[in-house]
Structure 1
Amino acid sequence: MKIAALFPGQGSHTLGMGQLMAAAFPVAQAVMDEAEAAVPSLLALMREGPAEDLTLTANQQPALVATSVAVYRAWQEATGLTPAYAAGHSLGEFSAHVAAGTLSLQVALRLTRKRGELMQAAVPAGVGAMSAVMGDPAVVAEVLASAAGVAEIANLNAPTQTVISGEKAAVEAAGAALKARGLKAIPLKVSAPFHCSLMESARVGLSGDLHAAHYARMQFPVVANVSAEAVSDPAQVAALLEAQITGTVRWVQSVQKLAELGADTFIEFGQGTVLTGLVKRILPGARTFNIHTPDDVAAFLA
């Protein structure tokens, strides 16, 4: 096997995530303890809620990193395997770099906590919006090119699934224009318009912390969201993580790059199965696994 480790982004959270793995694997519990030290009260929030507080971007981001890393380390201890490559969807790129050894867990947790706070504060509630568009991404790009106001491509998730982000009125107008072209636009329930130029203040606010962080030698390459290229030089990581805040998540191209590099097994680590589903749409017939419970580890070993 040539494994590509995949790490999910926002929206895959749920109360109790990671707890079964922490109960079964001391290495996973150690991750949770480290998360609590870096972000006090995070563990209780992940276990007990309230759910609406866990959903807040500033809480959800470090909680998802902690869960993904706990699951990954438990799987790695149980199997003795190391991926050939990794990639993470948006926030998940931080988890990928922890797995690769580029970032320490504590640094990643503190960065994603601040990232969440800055992204939430960047745009007042009700001003921004995001929509998922089903159809040809070339048509999406064509419609957005003539949009009045900010309406930009945030995510290229699957061959016929593109997420747009920006000012509420501009995104709604673009959605209506896309529907007139025969595409389907579905408004998303999000707290802010991520991965567009409206996140500029968040990019600026996190830039200093990203560039001041220590980036260690990488155990394996990580495919970056904004370039869809495999990165092996830790000196490049800060700039790529910064650009990602306002840039497009090129997930289709990232998965295609992993396959081009020889990855033949795609494993999603953490809560949810979103990335597993997207890989199947991008690479029909690809071998995929989703790991987030001890039973999943047992099934993989079997």
Structure 2
Amino acid sequence: MYAALFPGQGSQRLGMGQALYGASSAAREVLDRAEAALPGLLRLMWEGPEEALTLTENQQPALLAVGYAAYRAFLEAGGKEPLLAAGHSLGEWTAHVAAGTLALEEALRLVRLRGRYMQEAVPPGEGAMAAILKLSREEVEEAVKGLKGVEIANLNAPEQTVISGKKEAVERAAEALKAKRARVVLLPVSAPFHSSLMESARERLAEDLAQVAFRKPRFPVYSNVTARPEEDPERIRGLLLAQITSPVRWVEILWDMEKRGIRRFLEFGSGEVLKGLVARTLNEAEALSVADPESLRKALEVAHA
């Protein structure tokens, strides 16, 4: 029994998915379908330039394609479907593709639009995000209370919270938090994600989502907004929209999974960010990544143990 996790922005790297493409017919099928839907995507993922890959509208479909390809490779090699699934921000979309809520091609088109709308919601240089380490959520909330233009964006781990908003406000909040002995890391992002400044992106994406059919997922997928597993297709549609301007409640998602008996987690896609967050949040949990043939082999050994 395990939970499937799918990463969000920041996990991309040049060459991601290429080894799985060569080793797994299922991964190859997924990535070929992604290339047919968005021509040029595979070359961008494998050859760059890296600056283009990191653009929000390119990064989001690339990470979705690689995450789903890794998941399908795992199933092809004998792995079973998860009891539950969750994705961090963009990764929630990948989780829904894995669960059958959305078709791959539809999801790729939608997350490219999502990324474009998010990028265009705030002029370059006007927004910022910062990770706050070594302070609890409550301490961060107390420190930013009353500061206009800054909001809690990600609750990643018990002592890792991300703030988002207008650049000047985030910088003021960062100084206030440093005075409380927090470690503050300004994030290299192009917009203030998961804040009210993304409202125009939410409104634009609503029109596109209204035209897409959602199906009941084969297994429950957690919403970043509610931190609960969701199965109703229309509710999922609304929550994916709300997610754009709402905090990612990752800590609560992991805690809820633990309460339901989950002790094993597999992160499908590029990088090991979520594997690290599991280690920082849960004391008695095992987390592995599935990103290439070697990590796939190790995940299968654990899954069948």
| Counterpart Cα distance in 1 of 2:120 and 2:165 | 15
Q: Give the counterpart letter for 1:33 in structure 2.
A: D
Q: Residue 298 of structure 1 corresponds to which residue in structure 2?
A: 297
Q: Give the counterpart letter for 2:288 in structure 1.
A: F
Q: Give the counterpart letter for 1:235 in structure 2.
A: E
Within-5 A mapping of 1:1-302: 2-134=1-133, 135-147=135-147, 149-302=148-301
Deviation at 1:212, TM superposition (A): 2.3
- What SS does the aligned partner of 2:203 have? helix
Deviation at 1:298, TM superposition (A): 1.5
Alignment deviations for residues 82-107 of structure 1 (CA, whole Å, 9 cap, x no partner):
10000000000000000111011011
| Counterpart Cα distance in 2 of 1:152 and 1:238 | 24
Q: Give the counterpart letter for 1:151 in structure 2.
A: V
| Counterpart Cα distance in 2 of 1:50 and 1:26 | 27
Deviation at 1:112, TM superposition (A): 0.4
| Counterpart Cα distance in 2 of 1:51 and 1:191 | 14
Deviation at 1:213, TM superposition (A): 1.4
Deviation at 1:26, TM superposition (A): 1.0
Deviates more, 1:258-267 or 1:14-23: 258-267
| Counterpart Cα distance in 1 of 2:79 and 2:156 | 31
| Counterpart Cα distance in 2 of 1:27 and 1:247 | 34
- What SS does the aligned partner of 2:189 have? coil
| Counterpart Cα distance in 2 of 1:146 and 1:181 | 16
| Counterpart Cα distance in 2 of 1:260 and 1:101 | 25
| Counterpart Cα distance in 2 of 1:256 and 1:188 | 26
| Counterpart Cα distance in 2 of 1:178 and 1:63 | 34
Q: Give the counterpart letter for 1:152 in structure 2.
A: E
- What SS does the aligned partner of 2:210 have? helix
Verify the 8 A CA contact 1:276 1:290 in the aligned structure 2: yes
Q: Give the counterpart letter for 2:185 in structure 1.
A: I
Verify the 8 A CA contact 2:74 2:300 in the aligned structure 1: no
Q: Give the counterpart letter for 1:281 in structure 2.
A: R
Q: CA RMSD in A?
A: 1.0
Q: Give the counterpart letter for 2:187 in structure 1.
A: L
| Counterpart Cα distance in 2 of 1:52 and 1:36 | 19
- What SS does the aligned partner of 2:161 have? strand
Instruction: Report percent identity of matched pairs.
Output: 53
Verify the 8 A CA contact 2:202 2:242 in the aligned structure 1: yes
- Unmatched segments (≥5 aa) in structure 2: none
| Counterpart Cα distance in 2 of 1:279 and 1:241 | 23
Deviation at 1:233, TM superposition (A): 1.4
How many residues are paired up? 300
| Counterpart Cα distance in 2 of 1:129 and 1:298 | 39
Alignment deviations for residues 211-260 of structure 1 (CA, whole Å, 9 cap, x no partner):
32111121100011011011011221111100000100000001111112
Deviation at 1:181, TM superposition (A): 2.2
| Counterpart Cα distance in 2 of 1:92 and 1:43 | 19
Deviation at 1:80, TM superposition (A): 3.7
After TM superposition, which residue ranges in structure 1, 4 or more long, deviate above 6 angstroms? none
Deviation at 1:267, TM superposition (A): 0.5
- What SS does the aligned partner of 1:228 have? coil
Verify the 8 A CA contact 2:266 2:299 in the aligned structure 1: no
| Counterpart Cα distance in 1 of 2:289 and 2:104 | 22
